[in-house]
Chain A
Amino acid sequence: EDQVTQSPEALRLQEGESSSLNCSYTVSGLRGLFWYRQDPGKGPEFLFTLYSAGEEKEKERLKATLTKKESFLHITAPKPEDSATYLCAVQAGGAQKLVFGQGTRLTINP
């Protein structure tokens, strides 16, 4: 069974304090790894797709990387508006469904 585990569950940072969120996965035949941002009471908002080990994608203060077993979401010099829950999801084998991790709740204090 495909599994996705995110750590830490929650992370509190000061504004400007860089850090990384981890997503480790166990799947049969990874097709894609997706990062989403979710604000309270809202739907997941797409951020990145990574397809193969070694791939990196960047968007503003966020950079996502992928290895054969895990992905990292690096956040550089975060601002309070980056506060949200960050979700990792995988698509594997012939399936269309996304399998989500439980998310990392990120809080950036001003």
Chain B
Amino acid sequence: EPEVTQTPSHQVTQMGQEVILRCVPISNHLYFYWYRQILGQKVEFLVSFYNNEISEKSEIFDDQFSVERPDGSNFTLKIRSTKLEDSAMYFCASTLAGRYNEQFFGPGTRLTVL
């Protein structure tokens, strides 16, 4: 069964460093998303991406964040200068269509900022 994959599973970084989180969405899906979940809190939407453009973003997704689809399979989230409060699980999701369809989530990358 097709699934979303994410690498790395765990990333430890120093405050102020740049990190890139990688995702391979399900192959025929067209919409891609990043969410995050701070320990003990709700899953929060960050950004959605369609046709090589950001289609929707939250207030969390500020200038420190960027997304890219560098090739036909990968979808990345870059955090330019990490802060302690960026420590969280980051989930990638994909769906065949933007609305009315279930989003399938990857296993997540645990980001720890020291």
Interface residues, chain A, with chain B CB atoms under 8 Å away: 31-32, 34, 36, 41-46, 49, 51, 87, 89, 91, 94-103
Contact = CB atoms under 8 A, between A and B. Distances in A.
Interface in B29-79: 31, 33, 35, 41-45, 48, 55-56, 58
Contacts of B91: 43-44
Contact of B99 (A31, A42, A89): A31
Contacts of A34: 102-103
A30 to B, nearest CB: 11
Contacts of B56: 95-97
B107 A46 contact: no
A32 B98 CA distance: 12
Contacts of B108: 41-43
A45 B105 CA distance: 7
Contacts of B33: 96-97
Contacts of B100: 31-32, 51, 91
A97 B48 contact: yes
Contact of A96 (B4, B55, B106, B110): B55
A46 B106 contact: no
6 smallest A-B Cβ distances: which pairs?
A43-B105, A97-B45, A100-B43, A96-B98, A44-B105, A96-B48
Given A43-B108, A97-B33, A87 B58 contact: no
Interface string B80-114: 00000000010100000011111111111010000
Given A43-B4, A98-B45, 17 more contacts: A32-B100, A34-B102, A41-B89, A41-B108, A42-B107, A43-B107, A44-B105, A46-B104, A46-B105, A49-B101, A51-B100, A94-B99, A96-B33, A96-B55, A98-B43, A102-B42, A103-B42
Interface centre among A34, A41, A43 (most CB of B within 10 A): A43
B26 to A, nearest CB: 12
Contacts of B41: 102
Contacts of A32: 99-100
Contacts of B106: 43
